[in-house]
């Protein structure tokens, strides 16, 4: 949303007024817990846009930054840092990636918890369950892969989950990715099953099963990876 706004010469971030102050009304998502309680998730558009700026400035090449932002890069970096410094609770409520879902995130969910409805694909799990699953996966990954790669992603995910109330609900969803996948492909997606099978194969050593499941994941997500490289 932030990058698209640059096409129209907008100085303000999504979620803030032209003078740089945040909108007084926050956009939210709502859901019901298993007990029927109404749960509210702030979308944190302004803070997420600031985080997107930081990510863009740290990963985009010089020519892309120049073509997109001209000489405003450093000013935007300072503004983004200030906005993130104002973030209540120290974490945004929504974390997103483009083109793919980080495979370690699938440890949060089980295959039979998937919901496919109204053009959406998502899972919802109680916070306590999510934290336990991430902790188990982190311990297995650390003992197998060391401190980098999936272990680092799981560590960051655990720290993020720790910011929120224990009665919260955690949602993993495909967002706009469903527009890039046809119905047959979505139906055949076994990512959650494969990631959990890898954990089981690590816990009860079965190198062959680990390799087989990694290959299935690679095949499923490779098409989206190619699209990302083509952009």
pLDDT digits (tens, 9 = 90+) for 110-149: 999 999 988 899 999 999 999 999 999 999 999 988 888 8
- Classify burial at 80, counting beta carbons within 10 Å of its beta carbon; exposed 0-12, middle 13-18, buried 19 or more: buried
Tell me the C-alpha distance between 207 and 209, whole Å. 5
For 51, 96, 116, 126, 140, the CA distances from 191, given in Å and listed in that order, are 27, 17, 14, 20, 18
Between helices 207-230 and 191-203, what is the axis angle to 10°?
A: 140
Which of 26-35, 36-45, 82-91, 191-200 reaches the highest mean pLDDT?
191-200
Task: State the average pLDDT for the chain.
Answer: 85
pLDDT at position 123, please? 95
Tell me the C-alpha distance between 145 and 152, whole Å. 10
Q: Give yes or no for a contact between 224 and 100, defined as CB atoms under 8 angstroms apart.
A: yes
Tell me the C-alpha distance between 62 and 117, whole Å. 42
SS3 of 183, please? helix
Which of 113-122, 153-162, 170-179 reaches the highest mean pLDDT?
153-162
pLDDT at position 109, please? 97
Tell me the C-alpha distance between 109 and 134, whole Å. 10
pLDDT at position 228, please? 60
The distance from CA 81 to its chain's CA centroid, rounded to whole angstroms, is 20
Of the chain, the end-to-end C-alpha distance in Å amounts to 17
Helices (H), the chain: 2-6, 45-59, 62-69, 73-85, 127-145, 150-161, 183-188, 191-203, 207-230
Mean local confidence (pLDDT), 39-62: 86
The distance from CA 42 to its chain's CA centroid, rounded to whole angstroms, is 15
Which of 81-95, 133-147, 173-187, 199-213 reaches the highest mean pLDDT?
133-147
Give the DSSP per-residue string, 152-172.
Answer: HHHHHHHHHHTTS-TT-EEEE
Which of 79-93, 188-202, 214-228 reaches the highest mean pLDDT?
188-202
Whole-prediction pTM: 0.81
pLDDT at position 230, please? 57
- Domain residue extents for the chain: 2-90, 103-230
The share of the chain scoring above pLDDT 70, in percent, equals 92
14-18, 49-53, 120-124, 194-198: the lowest-pLDDT one:
14-18
Residue 154 pLDDT exceeds 90: yes
Tell me the C-alpha distance between 92 and 159, whole Å. 12
Residue 9 pLDDT exceeds 60: no
Q: Which of residues 112 and 26 earns the better pLDDT score?
A: 112
The share of the chain scoring above pLDDT 90, in percent, equals 35
């Amino acid at each position: 949303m932030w990058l698209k706004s640059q096409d129209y010469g907008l100085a303000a971030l999504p979620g803030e007024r032209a003078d740089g102050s945040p909108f007084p009304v926050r956009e939210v998502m709502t859901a019901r817990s298993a007990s029927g309680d109404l749960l509210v998730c702030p979308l944190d558009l302004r803070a997420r846009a600031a985080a997107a700026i930081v990510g863009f400035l740290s990963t985009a090449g010089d020519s892309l930054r120049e073509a997109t932002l001209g000489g405003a890069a450093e000013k935007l970096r300072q503004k983004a840092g200030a906005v993130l410094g104002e973030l209540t609770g120290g974490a945004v409520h929504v974390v997103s990636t483009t083109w793919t879902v980080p495979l370690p995130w699938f440890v949060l969910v089980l295959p039979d918890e998937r919901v496919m409805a109204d053009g959406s694909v998502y899972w919802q799990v109680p916070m306590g369950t999510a934290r336990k699953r991430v902790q188990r996966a982190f311990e297995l990954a650390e003992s197998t892969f060391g401190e980098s790669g999936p272990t680092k992603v799981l560590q960051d995910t655990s720290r993020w989950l720790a910011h929120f109330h224990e009665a919260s609900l955690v949602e993993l969803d495909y967002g706009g990715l469903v527009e890039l996948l046809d119905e047959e492909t979505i139906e055949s997606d076994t990512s959650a099953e494969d990631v959990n099978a890898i954990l089981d194969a690590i816990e009860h050593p079965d190198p062959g099963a680990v390799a087989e499941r990694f290959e299935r994941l690679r095949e499923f997500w490779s098409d989206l990876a190619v699209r990302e490289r083509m952009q």
